[in-house]
Chain A
Amino acid sequence: AQSVTQLGSHVSVSEGALVLLRCNYSSSVPPYLFWYVQYPNQGLQLLLKYTSAATLVKGINGFEAEFKKSETSFHLTKPSAHMSDAAEYFCAVSDGGRDDKIIFGKGTRLHILP
Protein backbone atom coordinates (compact mmCIF):
# COMPACT_ATOMS: atom_id res chain seq x y z
CA ALA A 1 0.00 0.00 0.00
CA GLN A 2 1.10 3.50 -0.68
CA SER A 3 1.31 6.29 1.86
CA VAL A 4 2.84 9.67 2.48
CA THR A 5 3.98 11.28 5.69
CA GLN A 6 4.27 15.02 6.03
CA LEU A 7 6.50 16.12 8.88
CA GLY A 8 5.02 19.05 10.74
CA SER A 9 1.36 19.98 10.64
CA HIS A 10 2.34 23.65 10.97
CA VAL A 11 5.44 25.43 9.67
CA SER A 12 6.23 29.11 10.17
CA VAL A 13 8.81 31.03 8.19
CA SER A 14 9.64 34.70 7.89
CA GLU A 15 8.86 36.56 4.70
CA GLY A 16 11.87 36.23 2.41
CA ALA A 17 13.19 33.12 4.13
CA LEU A 18 13.56 29.63 2.68
CA VAL A 19 10.46 27.46 2.69
CA LEU A 20 10.99 23.73 3.28
CA LEU A 21 8.03 21.38 3.64
CA ARG A 22 8.92 17.75 4.20
CA CYS A 23 7.30 14.71 2.65
CA ASN A 24 8.29 11.06 2.79
CA TYR A 25 6.53 8.39 0.82
CA SER A 26 6.09 4.65 0.87
CA SER A 27 5.38 2.76 -2.33
CA SER A 28 5.98 -0.77 -3.60
CA VAL A 29 6.18 0.47 -7.18
CA PRO A 30 7.88 3.51 -8.71
CA PRO A 31 5.65 6.29 -7.50
CA TYR A 32 4.16 9.37 -8.99
CA LEU A 33 4.34 12.20 -6.47
CA PHE A 34 2.46 15.46 -6.18
CA TRP A 35 2.26 18.61 -4.18
CA TYR A 36 -1.07 20.39 -3.97
CA VAL A 37 -1.82 23.74 -2.35
CA GLN A 38 -5.09 24.81 -0.75
CA TYR A 39 -5.67 28.49 -0.17
CA PRO A 40 -8.29 29.48 2.43
CA ASN A 41 -11.82 28.52 1.43
CA GLN A 42 -10.70 27.13 -1.90
CA GLY A 43 -10.22 23.71 -3.43
CA LEU A 44 -6.86 22.09 -4.01
CA GLN A 45 -4.61 23.24 -6.83
CA LEU A 46 -1.73 21.27 -8.30
CA LEU A 47 1.67 22.85 -7.56
CA LEU A 48 3.87 20.27 -9.24
CA LYS A 49 4.19 16.57 -9.97
CA TYR A 50 6.97 14.02 -10.37
CA THR A 51 6.51 11.42 -13.09
CA SER A 52 10.03 9.94 -13.32
CA ALA A 53 11.21 12.29 -16.06
CA ALA A 54 13.47 14.49 -13.91
CA THR A 55 14.21 14.29 -10.21
CA LEU A 56 14.05 18.06 -9.73
CA VAL A 57 10.58 19.29 -10.55
CA LYS A 58 9.65 22.95 -10.89
CA GLY A 59 6.13 24.09 -10.20
CA ILE A 60 4.09 27.22 -10.08
CA ASN A 61 4.76 30.24 -7.88
CA GLY A 62 8.49 29.52 -7.60
CA PHE A 63 8.12 26.18 -5.81
CA GLU A 64 10.17 23.12 -6.63
CA ALA A 65 10.61 19.63 -5.24
CA GLU A 66 13.31 17.02 -5.53
CA PHE A 67 12.65 13.29 -5.73
CA LYS A 68 15.23 11.35 -3.71
CA LYS A 69 14.70 7.64 -4.03
CA SER A 70 17.40 6.74 -1.51
CA GLU A 71 15.63 8.84 1.11
CA THR A 72 12.08 8.12 -0.13
CA SER A 73 11.53 11.85 0.06
CA PHE A 74 9.89 14.55 -2.02
CA HIS A 75 10.42 17.75 -0.07
CA LEU A 76 8.96 21.03 -1.31
CA THR A 77 11.08 24.18 -1.32
CA LYS A 78 10.94 27.83 -2.27
CA PRO A 79 13.96 30.10 -1.91
CA SER A 80 12.11 33.16 -0.66
CA ALA A 81 8.72 33.06 1.06
CA HIS A 82 6.02 35.56 0.21
CA MET A 83 3.00 36.46 2.28
CA SER A 84 0.76 35.03 -0.43
CA ASP A 85 2.31 31.57 0.11
CA ALA A 86 0.37 31.16 3.35
CA ALA A 87 -1.81 28.12 2.71
CA GLU A 88 -2.08 24.41 3.39
CA TYR A 89 0.14 22.11 1.38
CA PHE A 90 -0.54 18.46 0.67
CA CYS A 91 1.90 15.86 -0.54
CA ALA A 92 0.36 12.94 -2.42
CA VAL A 93 1.36 9.67 -4.07
CA SER A 94 -0.12 7.57 -6.85
CA ASP A 95 0.93 4.41 -8.64
CA GLY A 96 -0.37 5.89 -11.89
CA GLY A 97 -2.57 2.92 -12.49
CA ARG A 98 -5.83 2.99 -14.34
CA ASP A 99 -7.80 4.21 -11.38
CA ASP A 100 -5.21 6.89 -10.71
CA LYS A 101 -6.21 6.94 -7.04
CA ILE A 102 -4.14 9.51 -5.22
CA ILE A 103 -3.27 9.08 -1.54
CA PHE A 104 -2.86 12.37 0.29
CA GLY A 105 -0.85 13.27 3.34
CA LYS A 106 -2.42 15.07 6.27
CA GLY A 107 -1.18 18.45 5.13
CA THR A 108 1.15 21.14 6.40
CA ARG A 109 -0.14 24.60 7.11
CA LEU A 110 2.43 27.21 6.14
CA HIS A 111 2.44 30.48 8.08
CA ILE A 112 4.41 33.47 6.81
CA LEU A 113 5.68 35.88 9.43
CA PRO A 114 6.09 39.54 8.43
Chain B
Amino acid sequence: GAGVSQSPSNKVTEKGKDVELRCDPISGHTALYWYRQSLGQGLEFLIYFQGNSAPDKSGLPSDRFSAERTGGSVSTLTIQRTQQEDSAVYLCASSLNLGTGPYEQYFGPGTRLTVT
Protein backbone atom coordinates (compact mmCIF):
# COMPACT_ATOMS: atom_id res chain seq x y z
CA GLY B 1 0.00 0.00 0.00
CA ALA B 2 0.90 3.66 -0.10
CA GLY B 3 3.32 5.12 2.39
CA VAL B 4 3.00 8.33 4.37
CA SER B 5 2.29 11.28 2.13
CA GLN B 6 2.63 14.98 2.86
CA SER B 7 1.48 18.06 1.05
CA PRO B 8 2.58 20.44 -0.19
CA SER B 9 6.13 19.30 -0.81
CA ASN B 10 7.30 22.91 -0.80
CA LYS B 11 5.70 26.02 0.63
CA VAL B 12 6.97 29.56 0.44
CA THR B 13 5.09 32.10 2.51
CA GLU B 14 5.48 35.64 3.69
CA LYS B 15 6.25 36.42 7.29
CA GLY B 16 3.05 36.84 9.27
CA LYS B 17 0.92 34.57 7.10
CA ASP B 18 -0.69 31.34 8.33
CA VAL B 19 0.18 27.99 6.75
CA GLU B 20 -1.33 24.53 6.88
CA LEU B 21 0.67 21.38 6.28
CA ARG B 22 -1.06 18.09 5.64
CA CYS B 23 -0.10 14.51 6.47
CA ASP B 24 -1.79 11.33 5.27
CA PRO B 25 -0.53 8.43 7.37
CA ILE B 26 -0.43 4.78 6.38
CA SER B 27 -3.92 3.36 6.55
CA GLY B 28 -4.59 1.63 9.85
CA HIS B 29 -1.68 3.19 11.71
CA THR B 30 -2.79 4.33 15.13
CA ALA B 31 0.00 6.77 15.91
CA LEU B 32 1.04 9.93 14.08
CA TYR B 33 3.99 12.19 14.80
CA TRP B 34 5.14 15.58 13.56
CA TYR B 35 8.81 16.58 13.60
CA ARG B 36 10.69 19.65 12.49
CA GLN B 37 14.07 19.31 10.81
CA SER B 38 16.23 22.40 10.75
CA LEU B 39 19.67 22.56 9.19
CA GLY B 40 22.20 21.06 11.57
CA GLN B 41 19.61 20.56 14.32
CA GLY B 42 18.43 17.03 13.74
CA LEU B 43 14.79 16.17 14.21
CA GLU B 44 12.77 18.07 16.77
CA PHE B 45 9.64 16.35 18.10
CA LEU B 46 6.57 18.55 17.84
CA ILE B 47 3.40 16.58 18.58
CA TYR B 48 2.13 13.01 18.84
CA PHE B 49 -1.35 11.54 18.30
CA GLN B 50 -2.28 8.03 19.49
CA GLY B 51 -5.75 6.73 18.74
CA ASN B 52 -8.43 8.71 20.53
CA SER B 53 -6.17 9.84 23.35
CA ALA B 54 -5.33 13.48 23.98
CA PRO B 55 -2.32 14.42 21.87
CA ASP B 56 1.11 14.95 23.39
CA LYS B 57 1.82 18.59 22.52
CA SER B 58 4.95 18.89 24.62
CA GLY B 59 7.20 19.64 21.65
CA LEU B 60 5.28 22.51 20.11
CA PRO B 61 7.62 25.52 20.25
CA SER B 62 4.97 28.19 20.73
CA ASP B 63 1.22 28.75 20.76
CA ARG B 64 1.43 29.71 17.09
CA PHE B 65 1.74 26.01 16.36
CA SER B 66 -1.23 23.67 16.51
CA ALA B 67 -2.23 20.36 14.99
CA GLU B 68 -5.29 18.22 14.67
CA ARG B 69 -6.03 14.76 13.47
CA THR B 70 -9.46 14.17 12.04
CA GLY B 71 -11.13 10.78 12.20
CA GLY B 72 -7.94 9.18 13.43
CA SER B 73 -6.36 9.55 10.03
CA VAL B 74 -5.31 12.75 8.24
CA SER B 75 -3.47 15.37 10.27
CA THR B 76 -2.96 19.07 9.69
CA LEU B 77 -0.20 21.12 11.28
CA THR B 78 -1.01 24.82 11.37
CA ILE B 79 1.47 27.59 11.94
CA GLN B 80 -0.03 31.00 12.56
CA ARG B 81 1.73 34.29 11.97
CA THR B 82 4.78 32.57 10.53
CA GLN B 83 8.24 33.82 11.42
CA GLN B 84 11.50 33.33 9.56
CA GLU B 85 12.73 30.95 12.22
CA ASP B 86 9.84 28.63 11.30
CA SER B 87 11.63 27.85 8.03
CA ALA B 88 12.45 24.14 8.12
CA VAL B 89 11.40 20.77 6.77
CA TYR B 90 8.35 19.42 8.57
CA LEU B 91 8.23 15.65 8.69
CA CYS B 92 5.30 13.44 9.52
CA ALA B 93 5.56 9.81 10.62
CA SER B 94 3.07 7.11 11.49
CA SER B 95 3.30 3.80 13.28
CA LEU B 96 1.12 0.94 14.43
CA ASN B 97 1.30 1.28 18.21
CA LEU B 98 -0.54 -1.61 19.82
CA GLY B 99 1.02 -1.43 23.26
CA THR B 100 4.56 -1.42 24.54
CA GLY B 101 6.95 -0.49 21.79
CA PRO B 102 9.08 0.13 20.03
CA TYR B 103 7.29 0.28 16.74
CA GLU B 104 8.90 1.39 13.53
CA GLN B 105 7.95 4.87 12.48
CA TYR B 106 7.35 5.36 8.78
CA PHE B 107 8.21 8.83 7.55
CA GLY B 108 6.76 10.95 4.80
CA PRO B 109 8.98 12.95 2.42
CA GLY B 110 8.39 16.17 4.32
CA THR B 111 7.20 19.67 3.54
CA ARG B 112 9.90 22.28 3.07
CA LEU B 113 8.62 25.56 4.49
CA THR B 114 10.36 28.80 3.63
CA VAL B 115 9.25 32.01 5.31
CA THR B 116 10.41 35.15 3.53
Contact = CB atoms under 8 A, between A and B. Distances in A.
Q: Is the interface of A mostly helix, strand, loop or mixed?
A: loop
B31 A100 contact: yes
Contact of B102 (A41, A51, A104): A51
B7 to A, nearest CB: 13
Interface in B6-57: 31, 33, 35, 40-43, 45, 48, 50, 56
A41 to B, nearest CB: 7
A106 B48 contact: no
Contact of A100 (B102, B108, B109): B102
Contacts of B41: 106
A99 B104 contact: no
Q: Is the interface of B mostly helix, strand, loop or mixed?
A: loop
Interface string A54-93: 0000000000000000000000000000000000001000
Contacts of A94: 101-102
B43 A90 contact: yes
Interface residues of B, number: 27
Nearest to A44: B107
A16 interface: no
B97 to A, nearest CB: 5
5 contacts: A36-B107, A43-B107, A94-B102, A98-B50, A99-B56
Interface of A: 9, 32, 34, 36, 41-46, 49, 51, 90, 94, 96-107
